[in-house]
Amino acid sequence: MESLKGRVVLLAGATGGVGAQVAKQLSVSGAIVFITGRNTEKLAEVAQQAGIPESRCFQMDIADEVSVNATVAQVLAQTPVIHILINAAGIGVIKSMDTLTSNEFERTLQVNLMGAFYLVKAVLPNMKEQKKGLIINIPGVLGKVPMAGAAAYSASKYGLVGMMQSIREELKRTEIRITNIFLGGIDSAFWDNIDLRVQRDKMIVAEEAAKAIWFLCQQPASGVVSEMVLQPFNHQAI
């Protein structure tokens, strides 16, 4: 496994339950972590808990290409290289087709799919200069196995998987690695505003999900973990 000490990590979506835990674990491991989020108060709280200086915190709207490009430019103004990109940002809309609105569908695609596109497109030139790097996305289990009421969410995550597989083909002559981690049933704020009966006490806690991402950041130089699936023991969909 490769050491994280001194590795530069850009973590988008650090204010979420899993993202906040990833920030802490990477920082403790000696990584130089830059974090983003839309809520500045939550971002400052995560930074304080993780021991990340204010200069490495950026308010960013992943659904806005201008915001993404400006953030990446500010990160690269502080460091010549980004070793690892982690996209933990995203939204979830779980509604049946008769209640799902066009705006909700479009917003889900804009954040989960277009946002990932903006982020990878902004960071990739720096990684291509190095001819190495690691990109981690979190499609979630619904990016592999759909469920009722997840038309918008699954569309965005299936699109993300297909996009990253295509990009992987473009990068075969480099050492830029791409990993998708399919998380299912994480006890986080994702479920707070979703009208669906779920057993959150049987879900994976955010800290354990973050440990899986922390582990993936230390992949050996000689190989790559293309995919990882992490689900609650009693609720396996894959």
Structure tokens that stand for 95 in this block: 């509604």
CB 226 within 8 A of CB 179: yes
**Quick check: is 118 catalytic?**
no
- Using alpha carbons, select from 91, 180, 101, 114 the residue that is nearest to residue 144: 180
Distance, CA of 21 to CA of 53 (rounded, Å): 16
Distance, CA of 144 to CA of 55 (rounded, Å): 37
Distance, CA of 87 to CA of 12 (rounded, Å): 5
Structure tokens that stand for 165 in this block: 């597989």
DSSP states of 91-137 as a string?
A: ------TTT--HHHHHHHHIIIIIHHHHHHHHHHHHHHHHTEEEEEE
Pick the catalytic residue from 34, 105, 118, 153.
Answer: 153
Catalytic residues: 153
